Structure 1
Amino acid sequence: MSWDYPAPYILPLCAKPADIDEFDHVNNAVYVHWMEECAWQHSIDLGLGFAEYQALDRGMAVLRHEIDYLLSAYEGEQLEMATWIAHSDQRIRMDRYFQLRRVADGATLLRAKTTFVCIELSSGRPKRMPPAFVEGYGAVMLPPA
């Protein structure tokens, strides 16, 4: 399966009955949940799970989602959500790209971008990324276009 960018982190998914809405396809809010799950799993894989966030008193919080819903997903379909760290100012902001594909035919169902800001967990205020974030997230950042 080809992806929009090289070396994605990939989360396998399956559309469950609880994901389906009145239109008989996966509800749009479920896609956002899948993006969150994929981002967290990728962060954990990079050694930056919530325990590390707590120890550093820092976290990456969503500022903005931009989502293009291209095709519907249906119950029982095997899917793969991919993510990449697209950009980081290595101070406060970081962008992640997402792409959701159906395994059976390789069709892209969703493309998205999420902008995160680094916050101090104890205050909820924006704070500079600690070196562990710069190194961990920066190690897998896409090269500039």
Structure 2
Amino acid sequence: MTTVQGFDLPRLAAVNASAAFNRLIGLEVVAAGDGEVELRMPWRDDFAQYAGHLHAGMIAALLDTACGFAAATIVGGVTASHFAMNCIRPAAGTGFVAKGTTVRAGCKQVFARADLFAESAAGETTLVATGETVLVPLGT
């Protein structure tokens, strides 16, 4: 039987750095461990949709990555099999923080959720979206 150990902060940072999309958007792994992760991404005008808010595709990417990285801290490599999100209010800010949490880590499925917060110039945060993901462990 193979024992899989979760990824620690340095390993998640390396995984993050190896993903071209994550590098492109400036995604940073701020904290990770024990089924939780915190990611940060700065605002850029080219992430905006037509009304000037963060595009829903970017919101989905942040939530999905936070869920996957949170799960990876427990079971190692994962891939998503289902993802859903809810946009609560327009995502506008100077940056964004995604906080992921593992809800349950089983042998064949991992359930995770994430919240996305917009940061203001004054340092205040506002919840803008939530997401949930079902992931499949890759055994790595």
Quote the residue 1:55 is aligned against.
Answer: none
In structure 2, the CA distance between the partners of 1:85 and 1:33, relative to structure 1 (3 Å rule), is: same
Q: Which structure 1 residue ranges, 4+ long, deviate > 4 Å from structure 2?
A: 39-47
TM-score of the aligned structures, taking structure 1 as reference length:
0.58
Higher normalized strand content (fraction of residues)? 2
Say whether residues 1:100 and 2:116 are aligned partners: yes
For the 8 Å contact 1:25–1:73, the answer to whether it is kept is yes
Say whether residues 1:80 and 2:80 are aligned partners: no
Higher mean Cα deviation, 97-106 or 61-70?
97-106
Superposed displacement of residue 23, structure 1: 2.2
Please tell me the residue identity of whatever aligns with 1:12: R
Question: Equivalents in 2 of 1:112, 1:39: separation in Å?
Answer: 8
1:1-145 maps to which residues of 2 (within 5 A)?
8-39=36-67, 41-42=69-70, 48=76, 59-74=77-92, 77-88=94-105, 90-104=106-120, 105-119=124-138, 130=139
Quote the residue 1:124 is aligned against.
Answer: none
Unaligned segments of structure 1, at least 5 residues:
1-6, 49-58, 120-129, 133-145
C-alpha offsets along residues 45-87 of structure 1, whole Å, 9 cap, x if unaligned? 6693xxxxxxxxxx4221111211001123x522211001111
Unaligned segments of structure 2, at least 5 residues:
1-34
Aligned residues: 103
In structure 2, the CA distance between the partners of 1:118 and 1:8, relative to structure 1 (3 Å rule), is: closer
Question: Equivalents in 2 of 1:118, 1:40: separation in Å?
Answer: 10
For the 8 Å contact 1:15–1:73, the answer to whether it is kept is no
Question: Equivalents in 1 of 2:101, 2:43: separation in Å?
Answer: 22
Question: Equivalents in 1 of 2:36, 2:137: separation in Å?
Answer: 22
